[in-house]
Chains A and B, each alone.
Chain A
């Protein structure tokens, strides 16, 4: 196999890794916010449910969760699993898992907001939705950016776990080529890919952080 063909194959793996990354963020960031509301709910049942959910998602391996999401429909409901479901299962598994981590980050950010901000809003007549959307959330985003960055960087590396249900993302592809061709080259390419990916993530997050630095 020539190096060009190898890179083409690895390239399509990279695209899938990036898709997993972006779709996971797209779904888990809002889902995490909803979950954090559940976690902070005054309703005991909702609060406990959210707490248990977060605890399980953070307390068990993501690899295992992916397998449950993928094989669950067959083992539990006897449904036939199509190959196309693989990618969907990966996105569901990642989104459910990362939402739990993001929920705790949102919660810590929201709970760190001084009560005076809420009281000012209330006296000025803002609705609850306006208070949260205009005043609280923008400030929370600034506060939680560092822990969010950590999670996002972990996510880049975690995309390789999709291998467990044979989604041909970057790492799955690299491993397959390496085994067939008995060469280390695909692993080196994979390492460079993840490293540069994370470098870009760090740059983007740094840019956002700078953008929000106009106040403190």
Chain B
């Protein structure tokens, strides 16, 4: 089944096109990495897909349910979003892990993880804690349960933010450069966690600059530039691509 379907997404800021025309389908269990130079629109793509930004035009579909569709107007067409109630339901299908974690500093690690399930999904406290403890164990953070984010390393903070996203049991998880804000020696622990999720068949879309990591873990890699998907394929296909821009970009790493 297709978990995510983006059709002809367009997005600009102040008249400047950032996403020119992007279509993308992600199947259940697929791991898709997005690479590309800085400013090519990768974050904007994720922000539109997670509805932190509204698209100018195009369709956004989660599990065959339309979050937004394109409607004709005098200038061509524009996106129309589903009702608030529908969007609220669709929202539950995905999670997003930010580059700079965005943990809640006034909440303990445990509270960061259980609060959304309890106050958004109305999960019982007992159930929320059970979920959290399982995640903390899985991500090697058991001893940080009662710590506050400011007492953790960047790598630990990012793992907590992954746990926070997973606690809502999303079907698809987006990552926007999850290791870019970390010291090099801390990236390994976060990448390892993402690899474990991939091994458990979690569906993921990962914007990253870690080429080796993307190569090892992805079912598909997308090379983005100037708001367009310039090339995509399996890691083997992409790393042996004849596209000059792809080679030049990968060659830098």
Among B106, B115, B119, B150, max chain A CB count under 10 A is at B106
Assess A117 versus B119: contact at CB under 8 Å? Given A122-B52, A124-B168: no
Distance in angstroms between the alpha carbons of A138 and B104 in the assembled complex: 11
Whether, in the assembled complex, A175 has its beta carbon less than 8 Å from a beta carbon of chain B, the answer is no
Name which residue of chain B comes closest to A124, CB basis.
Answer: B116
* Chain A residues whose C-beta falls within 8 Å of the C-beta of B115 in the assembled complex: 134
Bin chain B's interface residue count: 20 to 34
Chain A interface main SS type? helix
For window 159-216 of A, CB contacts with B under 8 Å fall at 214-216
Quick check: A123 and B120 within 8 Å, CB to CB?
no
Whether, in the assembled complex, B91 has its beta carbon less than 8 Å from a beta carbon of chain A, the answer is yes
Assess A216 versus B95: contact at CB under 8 Å? Given A126-B116, A126-B119: no
Distance in angstroms between the alpha carbons of A214 and B149 in the assembled complex: 11
Distance in angstroms between the alpha carbons of A135 and B112 in the assembled complex: 10
* Chain A residues whose C-beta falls within 8 Å of the C-beta of B150 in the assembled complex: 215-216
CB distance from A93 to the nearest CB of B (A): 35
Quick check: B91 and A139 within 8 Å, CB to CB?
no
Whether, in the assembled complex, B98 has its beta carbon less than 8 Å from a beta carbon of chain A, the answer is yes
Could you show 12 A-B contacts with beta carbons less than 8 Å apart? A116-B102, A120-B104, A122-B51, A123-B95, A123-B96, A124-B120, A124-B168, A125-B92, A126-B120, A130-B119, A215-B150, A216-B150
Name which residue of chain A comes closest to B99, CB basis.
Answer: A116
Whether, in the assembled complex, B39 has its beta carbon less than 8 Å from a beta carbon of chain A, the answer is no
The 10 A-B residue pairs with the shortest CB-CB distance, nearest first, are A120-B102, A116-B102, A124-B116, A125-B120, A123-B96, A215-B148, A215-B105, A125-B91, A138-B106, A216-B150
Whether, in the assembled complex, A142 has its beta carbon less than 8 Å from a beta carbon of chain B, the answer is yes
Question: What does the 1/0 interface line of A49-61 toward B look like (CB < 8 Å)?
Answer: 0000000000000
CB distance from A175 to the nearest CB of B (A): 46
CB distance from B103 to the nearest CB of A (A): 8
Whether, in the assembled complex, B42 has its beta carbon less than 8 Å from a beta carbon of chain A, the answer is no
Contact of A117 among B88, B95, B104 (CB under 8 A): B104
Whether, in the assembled complex, A119 has its beta carbon less than 8 Å from a beta carbon of chain B, the answer is yes
Distance in angstroms between the alpha carbons of A151 and B83 in the assembled complex: 45
Distance in angstroms between the alpha carbons of A167 and B168 in the assembled complex: 58
Quick check: A116 and B100 within 8 Å, CB to CB?
yes
Contacts beyond the supplied A119-B98, A125-B88, A130-B119: 15 A-B pairs with Cβ under 8 Å = A114-B102, A116-B98, A120-B102, A120-B104, A122-B52, A123-B96, A124-B116, A124-B164, A125-B92, A125-B121, A126-B119, A126-B120, A134-B119, A214-B148, A215-B105
Quick check: B105 and A139 within 8 Å, CB to CB?
yes
Quick check: B106 and A142 within 8 Å, CB to CB?
yes
Distance in angstroms between the alpha carbons of A125 and B50 in the assembled complex: 11
* Chain B residues whose C-beta falls within 8 Å of the C-beta of A216 in the assembled complex: 105, 150
CB distance from A118 to the nearest CB of B (A): 9
Name which residue of chain B comes closest to A141, CB basis.
Answer: B106
Distance in angstroms between the alpha carbons of A139 and B102 in the assembled complex: 13
Question: What does the 1/0 interface line of A19-39 toward B look like (CB < 8 Å)?
Answer: 000000000000000000000
Distance in angstroms between the alpha carbons of A214 and B98 in the assembled complex: 24
Contact of B52 among A117, A123, A126, A135 (CB under 8 A): A123
For window 149-204 of B, CB contacts with A under 8 Å fall at 149-150, 164-165, 168
* Chain A residues whose C-beta falls within 8 Å of the C-beta of B165 in the assembled complex: 123-124
For window 100-146 of A, CB contacts with B under 8 Å fall at 114, 116-117, 119-120, 122-126, 130, 134-135, 138-139, 142
Name which residue of chain A comes closest to B151, CB basis.
Answer: A215
